[in-house]
Structure formats: structure tokens, C-alpha cells
């Protein structure tokens, strides 16, 4: 399956394509209004600060048809890094051809090559097709964990040690 696709890591000149894929994914998830990323922010954080990596999946002609944006996290229990997959997206015209699975297989290979202990990601509860896809590959939902987040004004108040909630 993985051999049906080509892969390459993104370069700074790919920033507009990364943002396009992010917007397409957000639109698919009904969250386009939440995208505030810009090309300059992506270039800064991905390529200058090197806080994330982007892997493109390409068809046989070399056209980018999907992407994965990921970064390393750390498990204290395992005592080693893992890969956290922030976004996985395949363009609608290329879905159902095994590209999503090939991207996950490639990321698993990268995780093993780098000595990582796990590959993990979140999925919206409402994204039933993706949940079925992930489960079909043996991915297990972490139903005993709840994600918590500080963001925006709440994050700013926490950083300022403000005792009042926004």
C-alpha cells in the first residue's frame, strides 16, 4: 500500500500549500472559521523554530494529494519521545485509494526509525468516517482520558497568574 505513494518532507517554499491543506481540512471538519494560521506563522513555527514537521503524500505524477503535520511529544512512562499527529488530510478526489493509510504507515516507519514509543492523535467525536478508518487499522481510542486545554484569554490569565476567570 505505501509503495503506491511518494512522500517528501515540506520545505519553506511549500508554506502556501500547507496552509491550503489546513484550510481544506478545517472546512471538512466545519471549523474553517477557527483557522487563524498565516503563511508567515507557519513558516516561523515549522521552518524557523522547527516545532513541527510536514510530510506530503504524492501520487505517481508527483502531485501533493495529502499531508500530515506532526511533532515529537514525550512520554514519561515510556521514557522516550513519541510522534503526535496534529493533522492528517487527503484531498477529496484522492480519498478511498489508500493514501490515508499509507501516510499513517509512513509515520509509523518514521516513529520506529527515530526510536519513538508511540504514534498518537486526536479525532473529533463527530468524524465517524475517520473513527471507523482508524479503528479498522487497530488504533485504540483512549476513552479513559479527557483532553483539557487553556487557550486565548484563559491562557493569558493563567500566564499572568490572574485569580479571576475570564
**Residue 134 annotated among the catalytic residues of the structure:** yes
What is the distance between the alpha carbons of residues 59 and 6, in angstroms, rounded to a whole number? 6
Residue with cell 526509525: 113
Q: Point out which residues pair with 84 in neighbouring strands.
A: 71, 120
How, if at all, do strands 80-90 and 119-121 pair? parallel
Burial of 57 (0-12, 13-18, 19+ CB in 10 A): buried
DSSP for 35-69, written as a single string: ----HHHHIIIIIIS---EEEEEE-TT--EEEEEE
Q: Indicate which residue of 28, 84, 89, 134 is catalytic.
A: 134
Active-site residues, by number, are 134
Amino acid at each position: 500500500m505505501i509503495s503506491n505513494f511518494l512522500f517528501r518532507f515540506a520545505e519553506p517554499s511549500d508554506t502556501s500549500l500547507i496552509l491550503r491543506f489546513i484550510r481544506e481540512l478545517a472546512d471538512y471538519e466545519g471549523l474553517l472559521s477557527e483557522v487563524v494560521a498565516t503563511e508567515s506563522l507557519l513558516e516561523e513555527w515549522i521552518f524557523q523554530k522547527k516545532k513541527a514537521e510536514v510530510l506530503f503524500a504524492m501520487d505517481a505524477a508527483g502531485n501533493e494529494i495529502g499531508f500530515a503535520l506532526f511533532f515529537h511529544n514525550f512520554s514519561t512512562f515510556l521514557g522516550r519521545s513519541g510522534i503526535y499527529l496534529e493533522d492528517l488530510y487527503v484531498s477529496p478526489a484522492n480519498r478511498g485509494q489508500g493514501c490515508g493509510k499509507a501516510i499513517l504507515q509512513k509515520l509509523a516507519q518514521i516513529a520506529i526509525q527515530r526510536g519513538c514509543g508511540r504514534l498518537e492523535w486526536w479525532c473529533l467525536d463527530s468524524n465517524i468516517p475517520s473513527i471507523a478508518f482508524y479503528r479498522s487499522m487497530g488504533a485504540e481510542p483512549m476513552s479513559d482520558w479527557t483532553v483539557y486545554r487553556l487557550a486565548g484569554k484563559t491562557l493569558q490569565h493563567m500566564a499572568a497568574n490572574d485569580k479571576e476567570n475570564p
